[in-house]
């Protein structure tokens, strides 16, 4: 379907909303606000408060808006269009090759931050395994500035974004590490206060339902293989190695995996294992004590 865009910003906004709605995108109005704000160099709040009234678009602006709209219709994540992802207090750089952090991960991040703040260490240490763009790790580093935070990422493509975000948001107390979690940071064994993670958890033969994830997020960020618990098993053993006695683990998993995750952690020797219900009512996060 071809959509003609008017020269006026207000009419163009309405056309973009209609096209995104026709494409079945549930966040059409909000996405259109961000698309026009990005193309015009405005804030989303400016668009919402009437900054488009009376604005005549240049040919360049209309072409940019048309490009963004068509890419969004193809379900490319909005964060890829703008190059930025908002997460808690952060504005992270994202793009192809790295998992786009999403709001539901803010819940496990809060639990990790709470555990870090509860540590009796003056300068606690945290490690985020499979850090990707660095959302969890950098939230800990920014919101608990006395902490030293390491983010471990195995994918060289994702690590380009990891490094960029660590340099921007935590150049002093944040340390990006390229490598496999199973043998990374051996010098910290038994010294870490908090380990966090949002590992891949989809088993063989299962793909994400959401097109934005399935088509644009790298498969290494969601495909765990086997029964879906392969990476979680590695995360459990790595966290046991890194954490000091009494240290805390907090990580995200599939909403149906809570019971199996609990059994896995119990078999590995963890205590205080708790499967948490997030604000949406889904049991997607588990915490445990070393």
Any idea what the CATH number is for the domain that residue 177 is in? Answer: 3.40.50.150
* Lowest-confidence pick of 17-21, 178-182, 216-220, 237-241: 216-220
Confirm whether 209 is domain-assigned.
yes
User: pLDDT-derived band of residue 3, with 50, 70 and 90 as boundaries?
Assistant: low
Same domain, 128 and 269: yes
**Token duo for residue 104:** 């539901």
- pLDDT of 205: 84
Q: How far apart are CA 212 and CA 189, in angstroms?
A: 37
Same domain, 141 and 38: no
Same domain, 67 and 93: no
Report the number of distinct structural domains present in the chain.
2
Same domain, 59 and 93: no
pLDDT value at 2 more than 70? no
How, if at all, do strands 125-129 and 192-197 pair?
parallel
User: How many helices (H) does the chain have, and how many strands (E)?
Assistant: 11, 9
pTM (2 decimals)? Answer: 0.89
Average the pLDDT over 31-48 and give the result: 93
Confirm whether 41 is domain-assigned.
yes
Confirm whether 3 is domain-assigned.
no
- Which of 23, 47, 74 is the C-terminal boundary of a domain? 74
Which residues constitute the domain of residue 29?
A: 9-74
pLDDT value at 150 more than 80? yes
Average the pLDDT over 250-276 and give the result: 96
- pLDDT of 208: 84
Same domain, 118 and 233: yes
How, if at all, do strands 285-289 and 271-276 pair?
antiparallel
Same domain, 88 and 156: yes
Confirm whether 4 is domain-assigned.
no
Confirm whether 265 is domain-assigned.
yes
User: Which residues are CB-contacts of 70 (< 8 A; sequence separation ≥ 6)?
Assistant: none
Q: How far apart are CA 226 and CA 205, in angstroms?
A: 9
């Amino acid at each position: 379907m071809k959509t003609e865009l008017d020269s006026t910003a207000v009419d163009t906004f309405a056309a973009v909303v209609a096209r995104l709605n026709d494409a079945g995108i549930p966040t059409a109005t909000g996405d259109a606000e961000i698309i026009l704000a990005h193309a015009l160099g405005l804030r989303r709040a400016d668009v919402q408060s009437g900054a488009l009234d009376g604005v005549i678009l240049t040919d360049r602006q209309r072409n940019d808006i048309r490009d963004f709209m068509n890419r969004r219709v193809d379900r490319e994540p909005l964060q890829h269009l703008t190059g930025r992802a908002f997460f808690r207090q952060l504005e992270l750089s994202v793009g192809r090759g790295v998992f786009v952090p999403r709001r539901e991960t803010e819940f496990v991040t809060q639990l990790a931050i709470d555990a870090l703040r509860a540590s009796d260490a003056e300068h606690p240490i945290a490690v985020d395994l499979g850090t990707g763009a660095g959302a969890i790790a950098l939230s800990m580093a920014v919101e608990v500035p006395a902490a030293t935070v390491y983010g471990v990422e195995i994918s060289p493509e994702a690590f380009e974004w990891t490094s960029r975000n660590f340099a921007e948001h935590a150049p002093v107390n944040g340390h990006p590490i390229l490598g496999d979690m199973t043998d990374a940071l051996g010098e910290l064994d038994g010294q870490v206060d908090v380990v966090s993670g949002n590992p891949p958890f989809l088993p063989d033969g299962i793909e994400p339902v959401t097109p934005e994830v399935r088509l644009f997020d790298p498969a290494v960020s969601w495909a765990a293989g086997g029964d879906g618990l392969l990476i979680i098993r590695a995360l459990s053993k790595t966290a046991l190695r890194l954490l000091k006695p009494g240290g805390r683990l907090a990580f995200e998993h599939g909403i149906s995996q809570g019971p199996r995750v609990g059994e896995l952690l119990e078999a590995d020797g963890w205590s205080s294992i708790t499967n948490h219900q997030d604000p949406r009512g889904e049991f997607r996060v588990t915490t445990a004590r070393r």
